[in-house]
Amino acid sequence: MSSTLKNLTLKVWRQAGPGSKGHFESHTIDEITDEASFLEMLDILNERLISQGNEAVVFDHDCREGICGTCSLMINGQAHGPERGTATCQLHMRKFSSGDTIVIEPWRASAFPIVRDLMVDRSAFDRIVEAGGFITAATGGAPDANLIPIPKPVADAAMDAAQCIGCGACVAACPNGAANLFTAAKISHLNLLPQGQAERFSRVENMVETMDEHFGSCTNHGECEAACPKEISIDMIALMNADYRKAKVKNRKQLARS
């Protein structure tokens, strides 16, 4: 059975553009059903702002099923809000109580410049993937899919890593603004698989070094894992570091013989 929340105060970050000075804007929500999702609450706020002749709050969102990774938001200082393993779009108002004050901010990281209000630019993630987050296999020449057996535990581990939705919560939660969990998840996905071995060491080198151009350094706080809506483990970072070290000491010309 649904119930109604009353007297919510929202403190929403408003910022006109990348170079502008931002500020918090307060709004009250007198009543809302606890069945509403967090983003539906923002929809309602926006409808109201438009009807008052004001500009709607800009925020990124799309699938609202927790899979596309478009939504973001720091909610009361937590990336994606208070529910563990849940993206903002799947957070519902029943996680809040009447009378709450809710502070809503964009991702805060220098590699994710604010575009407007709650929207940030995460294209640095794409640069990391472009540097090596793929397996080179041009369309057309692939061998039969069952030619290389992949042990189930290996396929499962690769899948655990591949679940990353690229939302950027790990970066936002990190005190250093590091993207190690994101980068490590993609590297682990591909480096664990037999198909990924040919480019294993060039991949880790290129991706890590591109990451370092944009993001801060990892100091093992573990905030990323706690914030990840897919609960990706920081073990992935250890795998990445191990491969990076190997890549740096191995003579790749010798690899074919080893």
Partner 1 sequence: MTTLDAKIPAGPVADKWNNFKANEKLVNPANKRKFKVIVVGTGLAGASAAATLAELGYQVDAFTFHDSPRRAHSIAAQGGINAAKNYRGDGDSVHRLFYDTIKGGDFRSREANVHRLAEVSVDIIDQMVAQGVPFAREYGGMLDNRSFGGAQVSRTFYARGQTGQQLLLGAYQQLARQIGLGGVRLFNRTELVDVVTIDGRCAGIVVRDLMTGEVSSHSAHAVVLATGGYGNVFFLSTNAMACNVTAAWRAHKRGAYFANPCYTQIHPTCIPQSDDFQSKLTLMSESLRNDGRVWVPKNAGDTRAPHLIPEDERDYYLERLYPSFGNLAPRDISSRAAKRAVDAGQGVGDKQNGVYLDFADAIGRLGKNVVAERYGNLFDMYERITGENPYDVPMRIYPASHYTMGGLWVDYELMTTIPGLYAAGEANFSDHGANRLGASALMQGLADGYFVLPYTISNYLAEWLNKPVPDTSHPEFARVESEARERYHRFASIGGTRSPDWFHRELGKIIWDYCGMERSEAGLDKALSEIPALYEEFHKDLRVTGGEDGVNQTLEKAARVEDFFELGMLMCRDALERRESCGGHFRSEYQTEEGEALRDDENFAHVAAWEFTGDPMTPNRHVEDLVYEEVHFQTRSYK
Shortest Å distance, C-beta 206 to partner 1: 9
Shortest Å distance, C-beta 249 to partner 1: 25
Residue whose CB is less far from partner 1, 166 or 222: 166
Residue whose CB is less far from partner 1, 151 or 175: 151
Residue whose CB is less far from partner 1, 36 or 218: 36
Query: Do 234 and 225 meet the contact criterion of CB atoms below 8 Å apart?
Result: yes
Report phi then psi at 65, rounded to 5.
Answer: -125, 10
Shortest Å distance, C-beta 138 to partner 1: 5
Residue whose CB is less far from partner 1, 2 or 258: 2
Shortest Å distance, C-beta 220 to partner 1: 27
End-to-end CA distance of the chain: 63
Shortest Å distance, C-beta 221 to partner 1: 26
Strand partners, 105: 74
Residue whose CB is less far from partner 1, 198 or 247: 198
User: Side chain identity at 75, as an amino acid letter?
Assistant: I
